[in-house]
Amino acid sequence: MFPRSFYLSTSIIIACLIALVAAANGQSTVDDSDLQSWNDLSITVALNKTVDLYIPVTFRFDHNIGTLHEGRIGAGVILKPVKNVAITPFYTFIRVRNSAGRFVNENRVTLRGVYRFPVKNFGLSHRSQYEYRIRPTGNLWRYRPSITIEKELPEKFVSGLKVYATEEPFFESTTNRFSRNRFSVGINKVLNKKLSLDIYYLYQGDNFAHPASVHVIGTAWRVKL
């Protein structure tokens, strides 16, 4: 279905990411670090030229990828009023395992705005995301700005393949400060006009949550209908 070079390059990247995570995990104490798997599926349906229906689904596994920790499903719209700008209000229902090992519900309302800078030779985008979280332990809000830089590789390697890096801090209303940060690197492969796949490594550091250090091997499938 895909070129042999795609399978080869993907296998090498995954092996390198796993080795990187294993090395980083081995340097951290067991009580303060975890290896996780995050798996996302997003479906967009074009309603017209400026509005898309948006449906995200997520499953996350923690405890060294041995336990289902969280499941999400949501719905919203992507508004594209002008070129290079996308505004996405959406709602997410979340079932997440608490510290006692029991699943509890969270309802989350999110407003996301993305601006893609008009630069040549590489992609640069800024995202601002505001979330209001309705939880059994108390409601809160947070702000998540991020910056992403991406570069499409020459077609002589693999057609439709990009590499990217993202920096994302979190401002929490409970602490009134930036208390969490995520840094990720990965690849994006356009498989056809309707389907693309991200494979990435993400490191999350948190000054208050447990575990404080999280290493993630993640996938993100994007379907356009």
Please report, in tens digits, the pLDDT of each residue of the chain (225 residues total): 545 544 444 554 555 455 455 544 444 444 678 999 999 999 999 999 999 999 999 999 999 999 999 999 999 999 999 999 999 999 999 999 988 889 999 999 999 999 999 888 889 999 999 999 999 989 999 999 999 999 998 887 778 899 999 999 999 998 899 999 999 999 999 999 999 999 999 999 998 888 889 999 999 999 999
Q: SS3 of 132, please?
A: strand
Task: Give me the sign of the Cα torsion angle 46, 47, 50, 53.
Answer: negative
Strand partners, 95: 71, 105
Strand partners, 75: 91
CATH class of the region 4-224: mainly beta
Q: pTM for the whole thing?
A: 0.82
